[in-house]
Every structure is written in C-alpha cells, then in structure tokens.
C-alpha cells in the first residue's frame, strides 16, 4: 500500500534481464536489506523467496513473475521479479505494461545478452524509465566498461556511470560513488548489512575524477542549471545533481549505471537508494491513456487516489483451484466487497477479497488505491489485459500484446477417464498464460497444446501432473506453419443458391497481392458502387477474416496478403450471408491462382561456445539449414548468431551439449516467417 497515501513515496519497479544475470538474487538481497525477509534465500539452493514454484526450485530459474513489496527510506517499493528465459517472455511483457520503472541486471562477464536485449526493447516500447545494475563483478572475465559499452551499442541507450568498481574479479572490494565522490566498502562479517563511506583511495582517485567529469558533462548536456555551474566551475550540490539525473532518467534520456555483486552482498543498498532517487513515482509518469467505451474518444486518468477508479488486470493465477487476479490501480481507490465494471466484457464483478502479495504469501487488506499493485479474489471473468473501472465513468485501457505460440505438441491423458479433467486443466492454464493455447484438431482428433518453446511446454506438462493430477503422453512437437502468396491475382466469384426456401445472391471481384514479410494482412476498398452498404462491407470483411484463417495449401493461416475489393454485384436477394460466403470463396480461389507458398517459423538463435568447439557447432548449424549471422568474441567464449528453421531446432540443446562437452549454451526466439 502507498504509505500514508503518498503517491510520491511509491515506486513500482520490475527487475528484467537475461537468464542467469542474477535478477532473483538481486531481489532477494533487496528484500533482506529492506527488512522484508530475515534470511537470504539462494537460487542455487532452491531457497529463493521469489522462486516459489516447485519447477522453479528444481531448475533454479524463474518461470512466473512474482510480486512483492518492501520499504526503504520511508518509501513503499512494489517489485516484480520477471523470468529471463525467452519462453516466458509474456511474464516480462505484462509486468512492464503496469510498471513505472525497471532495473536491468547485466552480468559483468556476459554483458548485454540476447534476452536482455529483448526485454530492454519491451521496456522501451512501454516508455519505462530504467537504471542498469552491472552484477557479478567478482567473476573471472568480468569487464565493467565492456558491459557499459554494450548498453550503448546494443541497446541504443546512453549509459550514465554513477559508480565505478574498485578492482575486478577476485580483487573487487567495493565501489566508488561518483555522485558523492566517496568509496563504499562492505563488512563481510555482517552479510553486507553494514558498510562504510570513506575517502577514495589514492590509487582510484585519477579514474574517479575522470569519470566524475564525464558524468557532469553528460548531465549538463541535458540540464541547464548543471551546465551553468559546471562551466563556471561552481560547486554542484549532491541534491542538485541527483535531481538532474532523476529528470533525465524519467525523460528516458539517460540510463544511470550501478554496479556490485549481489551474491557476495555488495552494491545493493546504493541500488535501493538509486530506486528512490532516480526511478519515477506514479505521479512522475504521464497519466494512463484509454478510450471512453461508448464513443471511442481518447481520455486519460491522473494518478490520484481521489479520482475515478481505473485499473488493469495484468496476470491471472490459479490458487488452489480458485482464480486470483493481479491488478495495477492507476487512479481512484477500491474496497473489499466493491462492484467493479469490466468495460471490455460489459459486466460488473464483485471484489470478494483484496490481497497484498509477497511472492506466494499474502496479507488481506481492506482497500487499495492509485499506485498499488494488489491481487483480487472473486473476479471470475476478468482476463489478462482487461480494464476494471467504475460503471458511471468507464475507461478502456490499452490491452497487453501477446506473442503467438511457435511450437506445438500433441497430448493425451494416460487414463481415458481423465479427458474431461485434462480439458478443464488446460482451460485454467490458458487463462493464466495467454501465450499458451490448446485446441482439438478437427481432422486428427488430437489435443494440441502450443507454447513459446520446448521448456514452456515441458513446464505446462509438469504442472498438469503436479497441480491438476493429470498424467499425459506427449507426441513429437508440430511446427505452426503459415501460408502466403507470391504474385498478384484477381478473381470474380458469384454465389447464388436457394437455402431453406430463400434465394441468396452476391457477386464479388477481388485482387490479392503479396505484402512484405511481417506486414500482416490488409483489406482495401476500391469498389465505387454507391449501392454497397456498410452492412455488406462488414460482411465482406468478416468473410475475408474467416477465409484468412486457413490457406489453400495445407489449411494453415494466411499472412502478409493485401486483399483489394474491386467490384460487387447485387440483386434484391442479396444479403450479408451471401456476401460473406462469396468473399470467402473468392479469397480461396484468388490465392489458388496467386502461386501460394508455405512459410515456416525462422528462429534467431544465439549460441555461446568456447572457441575450440566453434567448427563443430557451425557445421551442426549448417546441417540444420541455419544461416550464420555474426560471430563476436566475448572474452573466453564466442557468441554466434544464426537464423534457423524452428523445425530443425528440436533437440538442439542435446546436440550442442555433445558438440561442446557440455560448455555451450544457446537461446532462441522467434524472428520471422520465411519460405519453407
């Protein structure tokens, strides 16, 4: 809850990064030093507070984003710890949609890794101000300045170094704060709780002065007061400098860079100070934008506890069979037992209970207001991305975008009598996770589950067995293909039929043309017939969107096609149904003439492997029809990027392990569809 209702003293932040950069360890330390937990849990022991699912404890990775709250310097901080694995990118997407600020955690050895890039650009898309924390400075091969340079080169952000490490690898002993110009050293015996601010040791003074100058120079470019004082060599107060850095961070101009090593308990308290000093409160960011449902007119809601209530449901979870909905409140306040309106579904629902979450532990609360992130029980129909508001002053907030699943597996229950239970369980899991889909294949009768990757589906199958007690058999993954066309073609279709004693007639002429890859489908109306009513035009659009769901080659959805309506024929017996059917038939026949093509998902894979195994890894990728992009050196290892068809990447992790004696790692994410 916002302390004493003070929105200015609330911070809603997320911790984002590539897998294994240390996000959960950083969160664990934040909770410990802020007094929220009294024992630090370690990821490698399966004891981390935020990794509470059995699957997370076993694998030592974060799978689901967990919400918690703590206090620091009289401020309330709501934290979402997000997964770093590409298969769970939806968890990052929905967290960033509702957060005001983010901490990007980077490993000092790996620097900016592929998934860091993805999540950073997701944050950019939502205009989320960020600070960077360079972690693991004690690791062999740690290079602070290389990691900073990668933030500049790979992420297109301007890093602002606020701290320098005092030594690297085994010589790392503390950090230099360039804002206060002090050295900070931690007490090993007190688990890093106690630390001292001391004068900067002589051997680090020259570097500290040089980077302090660079800091002032960079900030003065963005702030007139600092520029004036810097040029006239006047003393710049710490508070003035902090305020200037805060302004540039919130305006997305600069990214303050902190450093430390979370596992050895160094660098966390200054990072907490950085959250308070530089990341925005709900009132520092622009008001949330939405539409008035009845008129479609754009409107905004200020972060104000006294205003009309508006909130976004950003995550749904099944909790012992009951549905729990996580919501971010943007304006107004709400109490347990209140009725809230869901404008997307046009229904009222009652808030049976409000809960403040700490990972999977909860605390019942009576009310919540603007700036809060809470969980609600009793919202039976609210889904991820739904708006909740008051019925008399409704607003429809922008929903959350989801990636489409790229990999499918056939599942069946081991016991025939578990079929209904399986369907019910899959329904609950797809309510929780919008990137997980399931369907029954009409032709084969198989239950097909689709997700973002092999690990994603493995976790789903594991949860079916553990949480829902449904044991399943799985078939080989099926790749989700797409279809498109390669040339333009025209087709005229006349539909004339008697159905249930009534005549139906519609004539339609269309042209289909290929669009560039990734441009989706488009409909354009070039018909000049004045008699074509809006109802018939809607029926044509409907018929087209239905026809686009299955192509002419193998029945896969059709993408990247522009359909132009050229002409129509009408009689007194013309109706909407006839136009809908005629359009669907015309589209199918036009695509048939337009040299249809099967497309398959192409993945962007990044492989990290020691140099001596490069030859074998490249030849393996070549046999998989991979196109090698660039190869860059990252200290002891080589990073290789390649575009590879998804159908050739099944079981790749096993091949990579055997080709690199278990030392190679890879990540892959969907890139685009291309010719199969």
Long-range pairs, 231-237, Cβ under 8 A, ≥24:
none
Residue burial 618-642, b: 16+ Cβ < 10 Å; e: rest:
bebbeebebeeeeeeebeebbbbbb
In terms of Cβ atoms closer than 10 Å to its own Cβ (0-12, 13-18, 19+), residue 473 is: exposed
> Of 205-209, 262-266, 409-413, 650-654, which has the strongest mean pLDDT?
205-209
Distance between CA 89 and CA 433 in Å, rounded?
11
Mean pLDDT across the stretch 366-384? 91
- Residue 2 confidence class, pLDDT cut points 50, 70, 90: very low
Residue 340 pairs in a beta bridge with 349
Q: pTM for this one? A: 0.70
Of residues 474 and 243, which shows the higher confidence score?
Answer: 243
Token output for 85:
């694995």
Mean pLDDT across the stretch 387-404? 88
pLDDT in tens, 246-265: 999 999 999 999 999 988 88
pLDDT in tens, 346-372: 999 999 999 988 776 788 999 999 999
Distance between CA 352 and CA 339 in Å, rounded?
9
Q: What is the pLDDT of residue 1?
A: 39
Q: What is the pLDDT of residue 46?
A: 52
Q: What is the pLDDT of residue 406?
A: 65
Token output for 467:
């949480």
pLDDT in tens, 634-645: 766 788 999 999
Distance between CA 597 and CA 617 in Å, rounded?
31
Q: What is the pLDDT of residue 4?
A: 38
Furthest C-alpha separation in the chain: 98
Q: Could you please report the per-residue DSSP string of 587-640?
A: HHHHHHHS-EEEEEEEEEEEEEEEGGGHHHHHHHHHHTT-EEEEEEEETTEEEE
Q: What is the pLDDT of residue 18?
A: 77
Q: Which of 245, 240, 205, 239 is nearest to 225 (CA)?
A: 240
Helix, strand, coil percentages in the chain from 3-state DSSP, rounded to 5: 30, 35, 35
Distance between CA 266 and CA 135 in Å, rounded?
10
Token output for 199:
């004068």
The overall average pLDDT reported for the chain is 86
Q: What is the pLDDT of residue 171?
A: 87
Distance between CA 485 and CA 416 in Å, rounded?
42
Q: 57-71, 151-165, 378-392: lowest mean pLDDT where?
A: 57-71
> Of 83-87, 353-357, 474-478, which has the strongest mean pLDDT?
353-357
Beta pairing class for 353-358 and 333-335: unpaired
Token output for 163:
């701290």
Mean pLDDT across the stretch 462-467? 87
- Residue 56 confidence class, pLDDT cut points 50, 70, 90: low
- Residue 74 confidence class, pLDDT cut points 50, 70, 90: very high
Distance between CA 198 and CA 462 in Å, rounded?
52
pLDDT at 152 over 50: yes
Q: 243-252, 291-300, 393-402, 445-454: lowest mean pLDDT where?
A: 445-454
Mean pLDDT across the stretch 275-286? 94
In terms of Cβ atoms closer than 10 Å to its own Cβ (0-12, 13-18, 19+), residue 14 is: buried
Distance between CA 120 and CA 130 in Å, rounded?
9
pLDDT at 443 over 70: no
Mean pLDDT across the stretch 140-146? 91
pLDDT at 192 over 90: no
Tokens 């709900």 map to which residue? Answer: 282
pLDDT at 202 over 90: yes
Of residues 551 and 478, which shows the higher confidence score?
Answer: 551
Distance between CA 259 and CA 168 in Å, rounded?
11
Of residues 14 and 318, which shows the higher confidence score?
Answer: 14
Q: 66-70, 215-219, 296-300, 566-570: lowest mean pLDDT where?
A: 66-70
Q: 53-67, 395-409, 456-470, 595-609: lowest mean pLDDT where?
A: 53-67
- Residue 3 confidence class, pLDDT cut points 50, 70, 90: very low
User: What is the SS3 assignment for 102?
Assistant: strand
Q: What is the pLDDT of residue 182?
A: 94
């Amino acid at each position: 809850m916002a302390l004493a209702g003070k929105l200015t003293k609330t911070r809603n932040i997320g911790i984002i990064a590539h897998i294994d950069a240390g996000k959960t360890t950083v969160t664990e330390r934040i909770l410990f030093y802020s007094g929220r937990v009294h024992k630090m849990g370690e990821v490698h022991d399966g004891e981390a507070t935020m990794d509470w699912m059995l699957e997370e404890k076993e694998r030592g990775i974060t799978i689901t984003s967990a919400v918690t709250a703590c206090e620091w310097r009289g401020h309330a901080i709501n934290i979402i710890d997000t997964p770093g694995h590409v298969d769970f990118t939806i968890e990052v997407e929905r967290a960033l949609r509702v957060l005001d600020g983010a901490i990007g955690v980077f490993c000092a050895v790996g620097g900016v890794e592929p998934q860091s890039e993805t999540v950073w650009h997701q944050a950019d898309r939502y205009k989320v101000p960020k600070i960077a924390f360079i972690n693991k400075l004690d690791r062999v091969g740690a290079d602070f300045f290389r990691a900073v340079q990668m933030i500049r080169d790979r992420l297109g952000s301007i890093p602002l170094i606020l701290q320098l490490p005092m030594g690297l690898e085994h010589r790392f002993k503390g950090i230099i704060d360039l804002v206060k110009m002090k050295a900070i050293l931690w007490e090993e015996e007190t688990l890093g709780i106690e630390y001292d601010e001391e004068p900067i040791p002589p051997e680090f003074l020259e570097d500290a002065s040089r980077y302090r100058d660079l800091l002032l120079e960079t900030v003065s470019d963005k702030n007139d007061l600092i520029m004036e004082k810097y040029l006239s060599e006047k003393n710049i107060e710490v508070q003035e400098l902090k305020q200037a850095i805060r302004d540039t961070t919130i305006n997305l101009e600069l990214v303050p860079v902190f450093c430390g090593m979370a596992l050895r308990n160094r660098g966390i308290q200054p990072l907490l100070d950085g959250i308070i000093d530089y990341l925005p409160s709900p009132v520092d960011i622009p008001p949330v934008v939405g539409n008035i449902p009845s008129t479609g007119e754009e409107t905004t809601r200020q972060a104000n506890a006294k205003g009309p209530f508006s909130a976004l449901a950003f995550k749904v979870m099944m909790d012992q069979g009951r549905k729990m909905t996580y919501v971010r409140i943007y304006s107004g306040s709400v109490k347990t037992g209140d009725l809230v309106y869901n404008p997307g579904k046009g229904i009222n629902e009652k808030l049976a209970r409000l809960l403040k979450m700490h990972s999977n532990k909860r605390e019942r609360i009576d009310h919540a207001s603007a700036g809060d992130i809470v969980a609600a029980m009793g919202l039976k129909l609210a889904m991820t991305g739904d708006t909740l508001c008051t019925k008399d002053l409704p607003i429809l907030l922008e929903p959350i975008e989801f990636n489409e699943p790229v990999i499918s597996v056939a599942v069946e229950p081991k016991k025939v009598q578990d079929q209904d239970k399986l369907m019910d369980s899959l329904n609950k899991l797809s309510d929780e996770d919008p990137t997980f889909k399931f369907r029954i294949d009409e032709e084969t009768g198989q239950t097909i589950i689709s997700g973002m990757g092999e690990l994603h589906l493995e976790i789903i199958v594991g949860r079916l067995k553990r949480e829902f007690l449904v044991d399943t058999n799985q078939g080989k993954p099926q790749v989700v293909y797409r279809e498109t066309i390669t040339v333009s073609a025209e087709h005229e279709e006349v539909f004339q039929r008697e159905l249930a004693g009534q005549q139906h007639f519609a004539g339609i002429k269309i042209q289909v043309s290929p669009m560039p890859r990734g441009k989706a489908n488009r409909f354009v109306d070039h018909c000049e017939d004045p008699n074509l009513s809006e109802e018939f035009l809607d029926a044509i659009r409907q018929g087209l969107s239905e026809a686009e769901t299955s192509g002419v080659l193998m029945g896969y959805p059709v993408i990247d096609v522009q359909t132009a309506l050229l002409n129509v024929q009408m009689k007194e017996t013309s109706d909407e149904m006839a136009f809908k059917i005629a359009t669907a038939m015309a589209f199918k026949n036009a695509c048939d003439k337009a040299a249809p093509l099967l497309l398959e998902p192409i993945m962007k894979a990044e492989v990290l492997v020691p140099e001596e195994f490069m030859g074998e890894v490249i030849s393996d990728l070549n046999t998989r029809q991979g196109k090698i992009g660039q190869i860059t050196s990252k200290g002891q290892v080589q990073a290789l990027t390649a575009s590879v068809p998804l159908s050739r990447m099944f079981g790749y992790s096993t091949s990579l392990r055997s080709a690199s004696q278990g030392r190679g790692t890879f990540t892959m994410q969907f890139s685009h569809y291309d010719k199969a």
